[in-house]
Structure 1
Protein backbone atom coordinates (compact mmCIF):
# COMPACT_ATOMS: atom_id res chain seq x y z
CA UNK A 1 0.00 0.00 0.00
CA UNK A 2 1.31 3.41 -0.93
CA UNK A 3 2.07 5.69 1.99
CA UNK A 4 0.06 8.86 2.35
CA UNK A 5 1.58 12.24 3.03
CA UNK A 6 0.47 11.96 6.64
CA UNK A 7 2.24 8.61 7.00
CA UNK A 8 5.40 10.15 5.60
CA UNK A 9 5.21 12.99 8.13
CA UNK A 10 5.07 10.49 10.99
CA UNK A 11 8.24 8.72 9.99
CA UNK A 12 11.13 8.93 12.45
CA UNK A 13 14.48 9.57 10.80
CA UNK A 14 17.86 9.63 12.47
CA UNK A 15 21.22 11.11 11.53
CA UNK A 16 24.01 9.41 13.47
CA UNK A 17 27.03 11.70 13.51
CA UNK A 18 30.62 10.94 14.43
CA UNK A 19 32.06 14.25 15.61
CA UNK A 20 35.71 15.30 15.61
CA UNK A 21 37.08 13.98 12.32
CA UNK A 22 40.66 15.19 12.46
CA UNK A 23 41.17 14.53 16.17
CA UNK A 24 43.84 11.92 15.44
CA UNK A 25 44.72 9.73 12.41
CA UNK A 26 43.60 6.43 13.96
CA UNK A 27 40.19 7.89 14.80
CA UNK A 28 39.91 9.28 11.26
CA UNK A 29 40.32 5.74 9.93
CA UNK A 30 37.80 4.47 12.46
CA UNK A 31 35.19 7.03 11.37
CA UNK A 32 35.75 6.15 7.71
CA UNK A 33 35.17 2.47 8.55
CA UNK A 34 32.01 3.32 10.49
CA UNK A 35 30.68 5.24 7.48
CA UNK A 36 31.48 2.41 5.08
CA UNK A 37 29.71 -0.04 7.38
CA UNK A 38 26.58 2.10 7.63
CA UNK A 39 27.04 2.60 11.38
CA UNK A 40 27.19 6.39 11.14
CA UNK A 41 25.68 8.61 8.46
CA UNK A 42 27.59 11.85 8.91
CA UNK A 43 30.78 13.25 10.37
CA UNK A 44 32.03 16.69 11.33
CA UNK A 45 35.54 17.88 10.45
CA UNK A 46 37.82 20.01 12.60
CA UNK A 47 39.29 22.44 10.09
CA UNK A 48 41.76 23.70 12.74
CA UNK A 49 43.23 20.22 13.22
CA UNK A 50 46.80 19.43 12.24
CA UNK A 51 45.77 15.78 11.75
CA UNK A 52 43.88 16.08 8.45
CA UNK A 53 45.63 13.94 5.86
CA UNK A 54 44.98 13.95 2.08
CA UNK A 55 44.29 10.22 1.75
CA UNK A 56 41.71 10.22 4.52
CA UNK A 57 40.07 13.42 3.31
CA UNK A 58 39.81 12.15 -0.27
CA UNK A 59 38.18 8.95 0.96
CA UNK A 60 35.77 10.90 3.15
CA UNK A 61 34.60 13.04 0.23
CA UNK A 62 34.31 9.89 -1.92
CA UNK A 63 31.98 8.35 0.68
CA UNK A 64 29.94 11.56 0.77
CA UNK A 65 29.71 11.61 -3.04
CA UNK A 66 28.43 8.03 -2.88
CA UNK A 67 25.59 9.14 -0.60
CA UNK A 68 26.88 7.29 2.46
CA UNK A 69 27.37 10.37 4.62
CA UNK A 70 27.33 14.12 4.83
CA UNK A 71 30.20 16.31 5.98
CA UNK A 72 29.90 19.11 8.50
CA UNK A 73 32.19 21.96 9.47
CA UNK A 74 32.96 21.39 13.17
CA UNK A 75 33.59 25.05 13.94
CA UNK A 76 36.11 25.44 16.77
CA UNK A 77 37.02 28.41 18.92
CA UNK A 78 38.45 26.27 21.74
CA UNK A 79 41.13 23.64 22.20
CA UNK A 80 40.71 20.45 24.21
CA UNK A 81 42.48 20.05 27.54
CA UNK A 82 44.00 16.69 26.70
CA UNK A 83 46.03 17.81 23.69
CA UNK A 84 48.48 20.54 22.71
CA UNK A 85 45.82 22.87 21.35
CA UNK A 86 44.74 24.29 18.01
CA UNK A 87 45.37 27.65 16.38
CA UNK A 88 42.77 29.87 14.71
CA UNK A 89 42.84 30.15 10.93
CA UNK A 90 42.07 33.87 10.56
CA UNK A 91 43.94 36.98 11.62
CA UNK A 92 40.88 38.14 13.54
CA UNK A 93 40.70 34.79 15.33
CA UNK A 94 43.98 35.50 17.08
CA UNK A 95 42.00 37.66 19.48
CA UNK A 96 40.57 34.44 20.90
CA UNK A 97 43.92 32.88 21.74
CA UNK A 98 46.04 32.51 24.85
CA UNK A 99 49.62 33.81 25.12
CA UNK A 100 50.95 30.74 23.30
CA UNK A 101 48.79 31.47 20.24
CA UNK A 102 46.52 28.49 20.88
CA UNK A 103 42.77 28.60 21.27
CA UNK A 104 41.65 28.53 24.93
CA UNK A 105 40.44 25.35 26.58
CA UNK A 106 37.54 27.10 28.30
CA UNK A 107 34.33 27.70 26.36
CA UNK A 108 33.36 30.67 28.54
CA UNK A 109 36.68 32.36 27.78
CA UNK A 110 36.23 31.83 24.05
CA UNK A 111 32.69 33.20 24.07
CA UNK A 112 33.60 36.29 26.08
CA UNK A 113 36.43 37.14 23.69
CA UNK A 114 34.33 36.62 20.57
CA UNK A 115 32.66 39.34 18.56
CA UNK A 116 30.55 39.09 15.44
CA UNK A 117 33.54 40.24 13.36
CA UNK A 118 35.82 37.57 14.84
CA UNK A 119 33.27 34.78 14.48
CA UNK A 120 32.46 35.79 10.90
CA UNK A 121 36.12 35.86 9.90
CA UNK A 122 36.95 32.57 11.59
CA UNK A 123 33.90 30.84 10.11
CA UNK A 124 34.99 31.94 6.65
CA UNK A 125 38.58 30.81 7.25
CA UNK A 126 37.62 27.38 8.59
CA UNK A 127 35.12 26.83 5.78
CA UNK A 128 37.76 27.85 3.22
CA UNK A 129 40.26 25.42 4.74
CA UNK A 130 37.87 22.51 4.14
CA UNK A 131 37.37 23.74 0.58
CA UNK A 132 41.16 23.78 0.10
CA UNK A 133 41.20 20.16 1.25
CA UNK A 134 38.62 19.27 -1.40
CA UNK A 135 35.75 18.77 1.03
CA UNK A 136 32.24 20.00 0.38
CA UNK A 137 30.53 20.48 3.75
CA UNK A 138 26.75 20.69 3.81
CA UNK A 139 26.30 21.36 7.52
CA UNK A 140 27.59 23.57 10.31
CA UNK A 141 27.93 22.84 14.01
CA UNK A 142 30.14 23.80 16.91
CA UNK A 143 32.94 22.05 18.78
CA UNK A 144 32.21 22.43 22.52
CA UNK A 145 29.07 24.39 21.65
CA UNK A 146 30.71 27.82 21.65
CA UNK A 147 28.83 28.94 18.54
CA UNK A 148 25.57 28.87 20.50
CA UNK A 149 26.64 31.50 23.01
CA UNK A 150 25.11 29.81 26.04
CA UNK A 151 27.95 30.63 28.45
CA UNK A 152 28.44 34.37 27.89
CA UNK A 153 25.15 36.22 27.84
CA UNK A 154 26.22 39.60 26.51
CA UNK A 155 24.08 41.29 23.87
CA UNK A 156 27.31 42.13 22.07
CA UNK A 157 28.42 38.51 22.00
CA UNK A 158 26.01 36.53 19.88
CA UNK A 159 28.06 34.14 17.77
CA UNK A 160 24.96 32.19 16.77
CA UNK A 161 23.72 35.16 14.76
CA UNK A 162 26.86 34.93 12.65
CA UNK A 163 26.46 31.17 12.44
CA UNK A 164 22.92 31.45 11.07
CA UNK A 165 23.95 34.15 8.63
CA UNK A 166 26.92 32.10 7.46
CA UNK A 167 24.84 28.93 7.11
CA UNK A 168 22.28 30.79 5.01
CA UNK A 169 24.98 32.31 2.79
CA UNK A 170 26.55 28.91 2.10
CA UNK A 171 23.36 26.82 2.07
CA UNK A 172 24.42 24.83 5.13
CA UNK A 173 22.14 22.96 7.49
CA UNK A 174 22.74 23.87 11.14
CA UNK A 175 22.96 21.68 14.24
CA UNK A 176 20.41 23.49 16.34
CA UNK A 177 17.25 21.55 17.20
CA UNK A 178 13.77 22.93 16.93
CA UNK A 179 13.07 21.36 20.31
CA UNK A 180 15.57 21.06 23.16
CA UNK A 181 13.52 18.46 25.03
CA UNK A 182 16.08 15.67 24.55
CA UNK A 183 19.11 17.78 25.48
CA UNK A 184 17.63 19.96 28.24
CA UNK A 185 14.59 18.06 29.52
CA UNK A 186 10.85 18.72 29.62
CA UNK A 187 11.25 22.03 31.50
CA UNK A 188 13.49 24.53 29.74
CA UNK A 189 14.79 27.47 31.81
CA UNK A 190 13.99 30.92 30.39
CA UNK A 191 17.67 31.77 29.85
CA UNK A 192 17.70 28.97 27.29
CA UNK A 193 14.13 28.95 25.99
CA UNK A 194 14.00 32.63 25.01
CA UNK A 195 17.23 32.81 22.96
CA UNK A 196 16.50 29.37 21.51
CA UNK A 197 13.07 30.45 20.25
CA UNK A 198 14.58 33.61 18.74
CA UNK A 199 17.32 31.58 17.05
CA UNK A 200 14.85 29.11 15.54
CA UNK A 201 12.78 32.02 14.22
CA UNK A 202 15.91 33.58 12.70
CA UNK A 203 16.97 30.27 11.11
CA UNK A 204 13.53 29.86 9.57
CA UNK A 205 13.62 33.44 8.31
CA UNK A 206 16.96 32.76 6.60
CA UNK A 207 15.90 29.36 5.26
CA UNK A 208 18.44 27.42 7.35
CA UNK A 209 17.51 23.76 7.85
CA UNK A 210 17.26 22.48 11.44
CA UNK A 211 16.75 19.01 12.94
CA UNK A 212 13.63 18.29 14.99
CA UNK A 213 15.74 17.22 17.98
CA UNK A 214 19.33 16.38 18.80
CA UNK A 215 20.80 14.23 21.53
CA UNK A 216 24.00 12.79 22.94
CA UNK A 217 25.29 11.35 26.18
CA UNK A 218 26.50 14.47 28.03
CA UNK A 219 28.18 12.75 30.96
CA UNK A 220 31.98 12.52 31.31
CA UNK A 221 33.27 8.98 31.63
CA UNK A 222 33.74 8.99 35.47
CA UNK A 223 29.96 9.36 35.78
CA UNK A 224 29.23 6.41 33.46
CA UNK A 225 29.30 3.04 35.23
CA UNK A 226 30.66 1.20 32.20
CA UNK A 227 29.93 0.24 28.62
CA UNK A 228 26.56 -1.33 29.44
CA UNK A 229 25.47 1.87 31.13
CA UNK A 230 26.39 3.91 28.06
CA UNK A 231 24.54 1.52 25.77
CA UNK A 232 21.46 1.61 28.02
CA UNK A 233 21.45 5.42 27.89
CA UNK A 234 21.28 5.45 24.11
CA UNK A 235 18.73 2.63 23.97
CA UNK A 236 16.44 4.68 26.23
CA UNK A 237 16.73 7.59 23.79
CA UNK A 238 15.29 5.75 20.80
CA UNK A 239 11.63 5.53 21.93
CA UNK A 240 11.75 9.26 22.69
CA UNK A 241 12.66 10.32 19.15
CA UNK A 242 9.84 12.36 17.59
CA UNK A 243 8.53 12.34 14.05
CA UNK A 244 10.86 14.08 11.65
CA UNK A 245 14.65 14.02 11.69
CA UNK A 246 16.71 13.86 14.87
CA UNK A 247 20.49 13.85 15.17
CA UNK A 248 22.38 11.74 17.68
CA UNK A 249 26.01 12.81 17.78
CA UNK A 250 28.81 10.85 19.37
CA UNK A 251 32.60 10.96 19.52
CA UNK A 252 33.84 7.46 18.63
CA UNK A 253 37.56 6.96 19.15
CA UNK A 254 40.05 4.32 18.16
CA UNK A 255 41.06 1.68 20.69
CA UNK A 256 44.78 1.85 20.07
CA UNK A 257 47.66 2.04 22.57
CA UNK A 258 48.78 5.31 20.98
CA UNK A 259 45.38 6.95 21.42
CA UNK A 260 44.98 5.72 24.98
CA UNK A 261 48.43 7.03 25.87
CA UNK A 262 48.03 10.35 24.10
CA UNK A 263 44.57 11.29 25.32
CA UNK A 264 44.40 9.73 28.77
CA UNK A 265 41.60 8.06 30.71
CA UNK A 266 38.75 10.11 29.24
CA UNK A 267 39.36 8.34 25.92
CA UNK A 268 37.52 5.26 27.21
CA UNK A 269 34.14 6.90 26.60
CA UNK A 270 35.07 7.36 22.93
CA UNK A 271 36.04 3.70 22.75
CA UNK A 272 32.71 2.71 24.28
CA UNK A 273 30.82 4.85 21.75
CA UNK A 274 32.68 3.24 18.85
CA UNK A 275 31.80 -0.19 20.26
CA UNK A 276 28.15 0.76 20.74
CA UNK A 277 27.68 1.87 17.15
CA UNK A 278 28.58 -1.65 15.98
CA UNK A 279 26.76 -3.47 18.77
CA UNK A 280 24.06 -5.86 17.42
CA UNK A 281 21.81 -4.83 20.34
CA UNK A 282 21.92 -1.20 19.20
CA UNK A 283 21.41 -2.14 15.57
CA UNK A 284 18.43 -4.35 16.45
CA UNK A 285 16.89 -1.57 18.53
CA UNK A 286 17.00 0.81 15.56
CA UNK A 287 15.06 -1.75 13.50
CA UNK A 288 12.60 -2.54 16.30
CA UNK A 289 11.88 1.16 16.72
CA UNK A 290 11.39 1.47 12.94
CA UNK A 291 13.88 4.31 12.74
CA UNK A 292 15.21 5.19 9.30
CA UNK A 293 18.86 6.22 9.10
CA UNK A 294 19.44 9.25 6.88
CA UNK A 295 22.41 11.49 6.15
CA UNK A 296 20.90 14.94 6.77
CA UNK A 297 17.82 16.90 7.78
Structure 2
Protein backbone atom coordinates (compact mmCIF):
# COMPACT_ATOMS: atom_id res chain seq x y z
CA UNK A 1 0.00 0.00 0.00
CA UNK A 2 1.36 3.40 -1.00
CA UNK A 3 0.37 6.96 -0.22
CA UNK A 4 1.12 9.67 -2.71
CA UNK A 5 4.53 11.18 -1.99
CA UNK A 6 5.16 8.94 1.02
CA UNK A 7 6.21 5.66 -0.52
CA UNK A 8 5.14 2.21 0.58
CA UNK A 9 3.48 1.72 3.96
CA UNK A 10 5.92 -0.38 5.98
CA UNK A 11 4.23 -0.66 9.36
CA UNK A 12 1.16 0.48 11.28
CA UNK A 13 1.07 0.82 15.05
CA UNK A 14 -2.28 1.39 16.72
CA UNK A 15 -1.85 2.75 20.27
CA UNK A 16 -4.18 1.90 23.12
CA UNK A 17 -7.18 4.22 23.47
CA UNK A 18 -6.18 5.35 26.96
CA UNK A 19 -3.14 4.78 29.15
CA UNK A 20 -3.47 2.61 32.29
CA UNK A 21 -3.55 5.64 34.60
CA UNK A 22 -6.55 7.08 32.76
CA UNK A 23 -8.33 3.73 32.89
CA UNK A 24 -7.67 3.55 36.64
CA UNK A 25 -9.16 7.02 37.08
CA UNK A 26 -12.21 6.03 35.02
CA UNK A 27 -12.78 2.94 37.17
CA UNK A 28 -12.46 5.02 40.34
CA UNK A 29 -15.02 7.55 39.08
CA UNK A 30 -17.38 4.75 38.06
CA UNK A 31 -17.17 3.14 41.51
CA UNK A 32 -17.76 6.45 43.29
CA UNK A 33 -20.56 7.55 40.94
CA UNK A 34 -22.58 4.34 40.75
CA UNK A 35 -21.42 2.49 43.87
CA UNK A 36 -20.46 4.67 46.80
CA UNK A 37 -22.53 7.68 45.77
CA UNK A 38 -26.01 6.07 45.86
CA UNK A 39 -25.23 4.21 49.10
CA UNK A 40 -23.74 7.11 51.06
CA UNK A 41 -25.38 10.19 49.58
CA UNK A 42 -28.62 8.67 48.30
CA UNK A 43 -30.46 8.49 51.64
CA UNK A 44 -29.64 12.17 52.27
CA UNK A 45 -31.03 13.21 48.90
CA UNK A 46 -27.59 14.24 47.66
CA UNK A 47 -27.54 11.83 44.72
CA UNK A 48 -27.84 12.30 41.76
CA UNK A 49 -28.49 16.05 42.32
CA UNK A 50 -30.26 16.48 39.01
CA UNK A 51 -27.44 14.79 37.15
CA UNK A 52 -24.62 16.85 38.69
CA UNK A 53 -23.13 13.69 40.20
CA UNK A 54 -22.44 12.43 36.69
CA UNK A 55 -20.36 15.51 35.75
CA UNK A 56 -17.00 13.98 36.82
CA UNK A 57 -17.71 10.86 34.77
CA UNK A 58 -18.65 12.98 31.76
CA UNK A 59 -15.44 15.01 32.17
CA UNK A 60 -13.28 11.87 32.22
CA UNK A 61 -15.02 10.41 29.16
CA UNK A 62 -14.67 13.72 27.30
CA UNK A 63 -10.97 13.87 28.15
CA UNK A 64 -10.51 10.30 26.92
CA UNK A 65 -12.22 11.20 23.64
CA UNK A 66 -10.12 14.34 23.14
CA UNK A 67 -6.89 12.47 23.86
CA UNK A 68 -7.71 9.44 21.70
CA UNK A 69 -4.53 8.87 19.66
CA UNK A 70 -4.28 8.20 15.96
CA UNK A 71 -2.18 5.35 14.51
CA UNK A 72 1.52 5.73 13.81
CA UNK A 73 2.25 4.94 10.16
CA UNK A 74 5.79 4.18 8.99
CA UNK A 75 6.32 4.87 5.29
CA UNK A 76 9.33 4.36 3.08
CA UNK A 77 9.81 8.11 2.75
CA UNK A 78 8.59 9.32 6.13
CA UNK A 79 6.51 8.71 9.22
CA UNK A 80 3.05 9.83 10.28
CA UNK A 81 3.23 10.24 14.04
CA UNK A 82 0.40 9.55 16.44
CA UNK A 83 -1.42 12.63 17.74
CA UNK A 84 -4.38 13.01 20.12
CA UNK A 85 -7.70 14.07 18.65
CA UNK A 86 -7.54 17.63 20.01
CA UNK A 87 -4.23 18.27 18.26
CA UNK A 88 -5.56 16.83 15.02
CA UNK A 89 -8.58 19.13 15.27
CA UNK A 90 -6.17 22.07 15.50
CA UNK A 91 -4.56 20.96 12.26
CA UNK A 92 -1.16 20.05 13.72
CA UNK A 93 1.10 18.41 11.11
CA UNK A 94 1.57 14.66 11.53
CA UNK A 95 3.77 13.62 8.64
CA UNK A 96 7.56 13.96 8.86
CA UNK A 97 9.67 13.06 5.80
CA UNK A 98 12.77 11.07 6.66
CA UNK A 99 14.75 13.63 4.69
CA UNK A 100 13.85 16.22 7.35
CA UNK A 101 14.78 13.97 10.28
CA UNK A 102 18.16 14.70 11.81
CA UNK A 103 18.14 12.01 14.51
CA UNK A 104 15.89 8.99 15.13
CA UNK A 105 16.61 7.11 18.34
CA UNK A 106 15.08 5.35 21.39
CA UNK A 107 13.76 7.87 23.90
CA UNK A 108 12.53 7.29 27.44
CA UNK A 109 9.28 8.77 28.67
CA UNK A 110 7.10 8.56 31.74
CA UNK A 111 3.65 7.03 31.68
CA UNK A 112 1.26 9.96 32.21
CA UNK A 113 0.21 10.39 35.82
CA UNK A 114 2.58 7.84 37.33
CA UNK A 115 4.42 10.58 39.24
CA UNK A 116 1.27 10.96 41.37
CA UNK A 117 2.14 7.74 43.16
CA UNK A 118 4.13 8.20 46.38
CA UNK A 119 6.01 4.98 45.58
CA UNK A 120 7.31 6.57 42.37
CA UNK A 121 9.46 8.95 44.37
CA UNK A 122 11.74 6.22 45.67
CA UNK A 123 11.25 3.30 43.27
CA UNK A 124 11.10 5.41 40.12
CA UNK A 125 8.19 6.29 37.89
CA UNK A 126 6.79 4.04 35.18
CA UNK A 127 9.21 4.61 32.32
CA UNK A 128 8.81 3.19 28.83
CA UNK A 129 10.79 3.50 25.64
CA UNK A 130 9.44 5.39 22.67
CA UNK A 131 10.97 6.77 19.50
CA UNK A 132 12.42 10.25 19.51
CA UNK A 133 12.69 12.22 16.28
CA UNK A 134 14.65 15.45 16.00
CA UNK A 135 14.16 17.39 12.79
CA UNK A 136 16.55 19.70 11.02
CA UNK A 137 14.28 22.59 12.03
CA UNK A 138 14.84 21.78 15.70
CA UNK A 139 11.51 20.08 16.46
CA UNK A 140 11.58 17.21 18.95
CA UNK A 141 8.85 14.59 18.53
CA UNK A 142 8.15 11.68 20.83
CA UNK A 143 6.21 8.63 19.64
CA UNK A 144 4.79 6.71 22.60
CA UNK A 145 4.26 2.96 22.78
CA UNK A 146 2.60 2.53 26.17
CA UNK A 147 1.33 -1.05 26.60
CA UNK A 148 -2.15 -1.85 27.84
CA UNK A 149 -0.83 -3.57 30.97
CA UNK A 150 2.22 -2.47 32.95
CA UNK A 151 4.22 -5.19 34.68
CA UNK A 152 7.59 -3.52 35.15
CA UNK A 153 8.85 -0.01 35.84
CA UNK A 154 10.93 0.17 32.67
CA UNK A 155 10.03 -1.65 29.50
CA UNK A 156 10.26 -1.79 25.74
CA UNK A 157 6.83 -2.73 24.45
CA UNK A 158 6.20 -4.96 21.47
CA UNK A 159 4.91 -2.01 19.46
CA UNK A 160 8.14 -0.11 20.04
CA UNK A 161 10.36 -3.07 19.17
CA UNK A 162 8.52 -3.80 15.92
CA UNK A 163 8.36 -0.15 14.84
CA UNK A 164 12.03 0.46 15.59
CA UNK A 165 13.01 -2.72 13.74
CA UNK A 166 11.15 -1.53 10.63
CA UNK A 167 12.72 1.94 10.82
CA UNK A 168 16.23 0.54 11.31
CA UNK A 169 15.74 -1.79 8.37
CA UNK A 170 14.55 1.07 6.17
CA UNK A 171 17.59 3.23 6.97
CA UNK A 172 19.98 0.28 6.60
CA UNK A 173 18.59 -0.66 3.17
CA UNK A 174 19.19 2.87 1.94
CA UNK A 175 22.60 3.20 3.55
CA UNK A 176 21.44 6.22 5.58
CA UNK A 177 22.26 7.10 9.17
CA UNK A 178 19.57 7.47 11.82
CA UNK A 179 21.87 9.53 14.04
CA UNK A 180 23.83 12.50 12.72
CA UNK A 181 24.39 14.72 15.78
CA UNK A 182 25.15 12.35 18.67
CA UNK A 183 27.54 13.52 21.36
CA UNK A 184 30.53 11.33 22.17
CA UNK A 185 30.98 10.05 25.71
CA UNK A 186 33.88 8.27 27.32
CA UNK A 187 33.33 5.04 29.26
CA UNK A 188 33.71 6.99 32.50
CA UNK A 189 31.04 9.49 31.46
CA UNK A 190 28.66 6.71 30.42
CA UNK A 191 29.07 4.96 33.78
CA UNK A 192 28.49 8.24 35.61
CA UNK A 193 25.30 8.92 33.63
CA UNK A 194 24.04 5.40 34.28
CA UNK A 195 24.72 5.83 37.98
CA UNK A 196 22.77 9.11 38.06
CA UNK A 197 19.86 7.46 36.26
CA UNK A 198 19.70 4.68 38.88
CA UNK A 199 19.49 7.00 41.86
CA UNK A 200 16.12 7.45 43.63
CA UNK A 201 14.21 10.48 42.46
CA UNK A 202 13.48 11.66 46.01
CA UNK A 203 14.73 10.36 49.36
CA UNK A 204 12.27 7.97 50.99
CA UNK A 205 12.33 9.98 54.24
CA UNK A 206 11.04 13.01 52.39
CA UNK A 207 8.32 10.94 50.73
CA UNK A 208 6.98 9.62 54.04
CA UNK A 209 7.09 13.09 55.56
CA UNK A 210 5.25 14.66 52.63
CA UNK A 211 2.45 12.09 52.49
CA UNK A 212 1.92 11.57 56.23
CA UNK A 213 2.13 15.22 57.22
CA UNK A 214 -1.28 16.45 55.89
CA UNK A 215 -3.41 14.93 58.72
CA UNK A 216 -1.18 16.59 61.31
CA UNK A 217 -1.42 19.91 59.49
CA UNK A 218 -5.23 19.66 59.44
CA UNK A 219 -5.37 18.92 63.17
CA UNK A 220 -3.03 21.78 64.08
CA UNK A 221 -4.88 24.27 61.89
CA UNK A 222 -8.29 23.23 63.24
CA UNK A 223 -7.04 23.61 66.81
CA UNK A 224 -5.60 27.02 65.96
CA UNK A 225 -8.86 28.13 64.35
CA UNK A 226 -10.86 26.93 67.33
CA UNK A 227 -8.52 28.78 69.71
CA UNK A 228 -8.91 31.92 67.59
CA UNK A 229 -12.70 31.39 67.56
CA UNK A 230 -12.90 31.36 63.77
CA UNK A 231 -16.07 29.85 62.35
CA UNK A 232 -15.55 26.70 60.28
CA UNK A 233 -17.18 27.66 57.01
CA UNK A 234 -16.78 25.83 53.72
CA UNK A 235 -14.25 28.43 52.63
CA UNK A 236 -12.20 28.01 55.81
CA UNK A 237 -12.17 24.23 55.51
CA UNK A 238 -11.13 24.50 51.86
CA UNK A 239 -8.17 26.68 52.85
CA UNK A 240 -7.15 24.19 55.57
CA UNK A 241 -7.25 21.29 53.10
CA UNK A 242 -5.34 23.28 50.50
CA UNK A 243 -2.56 24.07 52.98
CA UNK A 244 -2.43 20.43 54.09
CA UNK A 245 -1.98 19.28 50.50
CA UNK A 246 1.09 21.43 49.94
CA UNK A 247 3.67 18.83 51.11
CA UNK A 248 2.47 15.96 48.85
CA UNK A 249 2.00 18.40 45.96
CA UNK A 250 5.57 19.62 46.32
CA UNK A 251 6.82 16.03 46.56
CA UNK A 252 4.97 15.02 43.38
CA UNK A 253 6.19 18.09 41.50
CA UNK A 254 9.77 17.33 42.52
CA UNK A 255 9.31 13.69 41.49
CA UNK A 256 8.08 14.76 38.06
CA UNK A 257 10.96 17.19 37.59
CA UNK A 258 13.55 14.61 38.63
CA UNK A 259 11.91 11.98 36.42
CA UNK A 260 12.10 14.28 33.40
CA UNK A 261 15.79 14.89 34.05
CA UNK A 262 16.45 11.17 34.35
CA UNK A 263 14.57 10.46 31.14
CA UNK A 264 16.76 13.01 29.37
CA UNK A 265 19.85 11.16 30.61
CA UNK A 266 18.46 7.79 29.50
CA UNK A 267 17.49 9.21 26.11
CA UNK A 268 20.92 10.75 25.61
CA UNK A 269 22.55 7.42 26.44
CA UNK A 270 20.20 5.60 24.05
CA UNK A 271 21.01 8.10 21.32
CA UNK A 272 24.73 7.53 21.85
CA UNK A 273 24.28 3.75 21.84
CA UNK A 274 22.24 3.94 18.63
CA UNK A 275 25.08 5.93 17.10
CA UNK A 276 27.58 3.26 18.17
CA UNK A 277 25.33 0.53 16.76
CA UNK A 278 25.23 2.23 13.39
CA UNK A 279 28.98 2.72 13.34
CA UNK A 280 29.53 -0.97 14.06
CA UNK A 281 27.38 -2.03 11.10
CA UNK A 282 28.14 -1.62 7.40
CA UNK A 283 26.37 1.30 5.75
CA UNK A 284 24.38 -0.99 3.46
CA UNK A 285 22.92 -2.90 6.38
CA UNK A 286 24.66 -6.16 5.54
CA UNK A 287 26.00 -8.15 8.44
CA UNK A 288 29.76 -8.21 8.76
CA UNK A 289 31.40 -11.47 7.95
TM-score, with length taken from structure 1:
0.22
Larger radius of gyration: 2
TM-score, with length taken from structure 2:
0.23
Name whichever structure is richer in helix by fraction.
Answer: 2
Which of 1 and 2 has higher RCO (CA within 8 Å, sep 6+)? Answer: 1
